[in-house]
Structure 1
Amino acid sequence: MSLLVGVHEVSNGNVLSLGANSAWSSQLALGGALASCTLFLLALMPALLFCFEVSPWAAVFCATAGYALQNLASGVGEAAALVLDAAGMPGIVVGGTPWLTIGACAAIYVASYLLFIRHVDPKGLEGRGNPAMLAMIVVVVFGIIGFDLILKYVVTGSLPVRIVLYLRAFHALICVFVIIVEVELVVVRQLSSEKAAAERLLAEQERQYQLSRENIEAINIKCHDLRHQIRSLAAGDGTVDKDVLESVAREVNVYDSKVRTGNDALDTILTEKSLLCEGRGITLTCVADGESLGFMAPADLYALFGNALDNAIEAVEHLNDAARRSTSLIVRRRAGTVTIHVENYYDPTASAKSFKGDVPASTKGDPLNHGFGTRSMKAIVERYGGTLAFSANGSTFCADAVIPEHA
């Protein structure tokens, strides 16, 4: 009897030991699988950056959303296999598991494309992303991958099929939730970009309207002065005052001051700004090789130089010292590049006194509707593969761009 009891105790001890070893092995397998899947997810992001011309935010979106979509399809396939097995068709399940997986993937991918993916504008992934996208990495690792591995290594086979199917449905809901959240983040980013673009367009239209009014007013004033001087000459006694003729010549020269740089678009913007400076008592000095900018679109030239000169004019027009009410522009070729240098004086207490990142902060106190000019300039220069830098030393403000010369 004692021998039987001893054998029974030894047998129970072996069973408990085997059970503990089995549980420990399952935990090790679960941890190893989670670590390998996490590393694979993290490796996907630099791989996407290497293989495609996408931003880091786009890589995060594609990796996490793709992983969620794959887990959703895999989970649906496994749930279908469990249902068929419970229905008494194990032969179909064993022989048709690959077809179940392929069918589930095809159905989920098509449905996801129709419901979510086709509504995503790639432009919404560019530029500054939403930091909330980084939280999706943690959710995917623990909420999707971790949960899926627990179902495979721990739950399936130890719980009733009904409970496993409930857990699989919950896992599918997590996958769908992650996909919806990520698509919403991209859509919100896209809407924010469209709103910012609309605000920039409205601000630019208002600015152009004000400039056009000022130019028309300047022309009207000149015409008014010319009319009075012509009347004075007509009412004279036959002798013409030399000073009057010189005054008329100066007035006419304003309209014959077309800038000629070899680039029609640049000539247009510089002539317009020259007239604006003439009306405001500002000296504009220009030395520009317009032919070197022939590779740039006229609209980009107008926006780049228009914003640069408008900022310079705005900075100097309020200076009391007439000698400092001046701005200069230099455009020239140098070692396979085109350099652009805009320099002007400024009042440190009123303008260009701080930088937001690498661009000057708006001085108008309304960053929502102002400050687009410098960001627009930077975007244009970078679009052509160049760099734009701003600097202020306490008395002068400079904007320097270096753009590779395109063939």
Structure 2
Amino acid sequence: MILETLPDIPRVLTGLAEWLACLLYVLLRRNRVHGSRLVLLAVVALAAQIGVQELAGTLPLALWPVGMFAAVACMYGFIVTATRVSARDAGYFCARALVLAELVAALHWQMHCFFFLHDESSWLGGKGMFFVAVYASAFCAVFLMESRHFRRAQPLDVSLSELASAGAIALVTFFMSNISFLNANTPFSGRLGLEIFYIRTLVDLCGFVALYAQQGQRLQQRARAEVKSIDGILRIQHEQYLQSKRSMEVVERKYHDLKHQIGVIRAEGDPQKRASFLDDLEASIRDYGAQADTGNGVLDVILTTKAMECAERGVDLTYVADGALLEFMSAMDVSAVFGNALDNAIDGAMQVSDPDRRLIKMALFARDSFVVITFENSFTGELRIENGDIVTRRADRDRHGYGLKSIRYTAEKYGGSMTVNTEDDWFVLRILLPMPAARPRPGAWRSHATRSVGSAPAGSAPAGSESAGSAPSR
């Protein structure tokens, strides 16, 4: 039993605290209504919030959760009506507003009972001034704190797990702060009036700190993701610069070689030898074509860079790709999938002892409502599998072996899948990605989206054909 009975927070003050907490977050977001319409909506919300609290006070204790649910529903309705946020984001703000309202109301009432418990004067005097001072200072301080976490132009994008976490924190906080009023005979209940108020205020404070820390962690994760994205873009730009520099060096080197070769051809009187020299000259420059043009800038850089690498390492790379299909993917994800897959394919092809069989084929095309990506490379040896996953054959396993995991993670991120298997002497990697529903199905392949480095392997499948992505003819 409670040894000392003290008056609980008046319902009108609880409703006012809940309304002010919602208004705080409404002012931190872009509004659906402005000016007089916003003021009118706020007044209606205030009347509804206080009315619901007064009505809940008349309900029996068994229906206390119903009254609380109605109050939370009014808070949610005010936020979702007044601001340009999604239903999920509104729920996130509602959880924060509930805990904030409980904290401010509990803090004020605890100090009110300490200073004015036996004061019978009107609320128009010192009690009213104290109430205004506490509420104004508390909500202004929180507004300044939360304005650092919530920017008007910054989307919130709360995930289901984050919403569930915030809701759980608010629910546990509210339950633990009010358990003494529901049942004094529990290990977590207080039995003295001021002790009950202290427990409620302390629990509400812990709940608000937990929610504040959660939002801070969300911002840190977003900042890390943005830094990673920017780093990826800069890395791609750097690779493009290095590729351009290497291309210029190749052109300069070929220029000097061509001057001497042209002189030899001019001096040769035998037409057959001259034709043979011309064939050799054509073969020597065949591997240095123009930059890839698939319709996706990031993919162009990757393919051009890997094509140059293949040419220098004696690997025959053939690809057919419609880069426009990848417009729904971020630059970092395109780089992760194609960079890792081609690196693995080059490493696998280089293990083949016969230089003429160091082959790589890549295809990117649409089939039904899916984007299909296949990477095939000549392969020798056996796959090493541990715990159901293919592991690297390199000695330094702490630094290598994450390529396929990264590709699988990216594919699953877009609701797709990745499969790997070997077919005779070929290693085949297939990626299947569902296209966004709002995206129209792409049309025919563009002719300039095809690029071959060296001669294409016999039996290579044309873009979009039924054999694309299957084992190459051998």
TM over 0.5: yes
Unaligned runs of 5+ residues in structure 1 are 1-15, 17-28
Summarize deviations over 1:277-298 as a string: whole Å, max 9, x none: 33332223333456x6496699
* CA pair 296-248 structure 1, distance change in 2 beyond 3 A: farther
Aligned twin of 1:397: 429
Shift of 1:86: 1.9
> Alignment partner for residue 69 of structure 1, among 100, 114, 126?
100
Aligned twin of 1:249: 282
Is the aligned partner of 1:147 residue 2:180?
no
Distance 1:223 1:372 in 2: 43
* CA pair 174-139 structure 1, distance change in 2 beyond 3 A: same
Shift of 1:147: 2.7
Structural RMSD (CA): 5.7
Shift of 1:246: 0.7
Amino acid at match of 1:230: I
* CA pair 188-342 structure 1, distance change in 2 beyond 3 A: same
SS at match of 1:119: coil
Aligned twin of 1:21: none
> Alignment partner for residue 226 of structure 1, among 247, 251, 258?
258
Aligned twin of 2:364: 331
Summarize deviations over 1:361-384 as a string: whole Å, max 9, x none: 9976338997896379549x83xx
Aligned twin of 1:181: 213
Shift of 1:248: 1.1
Shift of 1:205: 6.0
TM-score scaled by length of structure 2? 0.54
Shift of 1:87: 5.3
Mean Cα deviation higher: 173-182 or 363-372? 363-372
Is the 1:391–1:397 Cα contact (8 Å) retained in structure 2? yes
Summarize deviations over 1:107-157 as a string: whole Å, max 9, x none: 5444223113532576787679789x95x7776555553233415765999
* CA pair 108-81 structure 1, distance change in 2 beyond 3 A: same
Shift of 1:247: 0.9
SS at match of 1:92: coil
Distance 1:315 1:40 in 2: 63
SS at match of 2:180: helix
* CA pair 70-242 structure 1, distance change in 2 beyond 3 A: same
Distance 1:349 1:127 in 2: 44
Is the 1:277–1:284 Cα contact (8 Å) retained in structure 2? yes
Mean Cα deviation higher: 118-127 or 67-76? 118-127
Distance 1:67 1:308 in 2: 47
* CA pair 339-201 structure 1, distance change in 2 beyond 3 A: closer
* CA pair 107-175 structure 1, distance change in 2 beyond 3 A: farther
* CA pair 400-152 structure 1, distance change in 2 beyond 3 A: closer
Distance 2:393 2:223 in 1: 23
Aligned twin of 2:141: 111
SS at match of 2:225: helix
Aligned twin of 1:22: none
Amino acid at match of 2:421: N
> Alignment partner for residue 286 of structure 1, among 315, 319, 328?
319
Is the 1:327–1:344 Cα contact (8 Å) retained in structure 2? yes
> Alignment partner for residue 344 of structure 1, among 364, 367, 376?
376
Is the 2:296–2:326 Cα contact (8 Å) retained in structure 1? no
Aligned twin of 2:443: none
Is the 1:203–1:370 Cα contact (8 Å) retained in structure 2? no
* CA pair 284-128 structure 1, distance change in 2 beyond 3 A: farther
Aligned residue-pair number = 360
> Identity of counterpart residues, as a percentage?
16
Amino acid at match of 1:116: E
SS at match of 2:433: strand
Is the aligned partner of 1:193 residue 2:221?
no
Amino acid at match of 2:123: I
* CA pair 174-66 structure 1, distance change in 2 beyond 3 A: same
Distance 1:189 1:311 in 2: 29
Summarize deviations over 1:22-79 as a string: whole Å, max 9, x none: xxxxxxx9898589979999xx99xx99x96588xx7996565443212212313433
Amino acid at match of 2:106: G
Distance 2:209 2:304 in 1: 57
Is the aligned partner of 1:79 residue 2:110?
yes
Would you tell me which structure has more helix in proportion to its own residues?
Answer: 1
Shift of 1:392: 0.9
Is the 1:333–1:339 Cα contact (8 Å) retained in structure 2? yes
Summarize deviations over 1:59-105 as a string: whole Å, max 9, x none: 99656544321221231343355357425135429xx99x9989866
Distance 2:159 2:399 in 1: 22
Is the 1:390–1:397 Cα contact (8 Å) retained in structure 2? yes
TM-score scaled by length of structure 1? 0.60
Summarize deviations over 1:340-372 as a string: whole Å, max 9, x none: 322222658798967999x99997633899789
Is the 2:169–2:211 Cα contact (8 Å) retained in structure 1? no
* CA pair 368-314 structure 1, distance change in 2 beyond 3 A: closer
Aligned pairs (5 A) from 1:236-385: 236=268, 241-256=274-289, 263=295, 265=297, 270=303, 273-289=306-322, 293=325, 303=335, 307=339, 310-311=342-343, 313-320=345-352, 321-322=354-355, 324-335=357-368, 337=369, 339-345=371-377, 365-366=398-399, 374=407, 378=411, 382=414
Distance 2:216 2:340 in 1: 37
Shift of 1:173: 3.8
Distance 1:129 1:360 in 2: 32
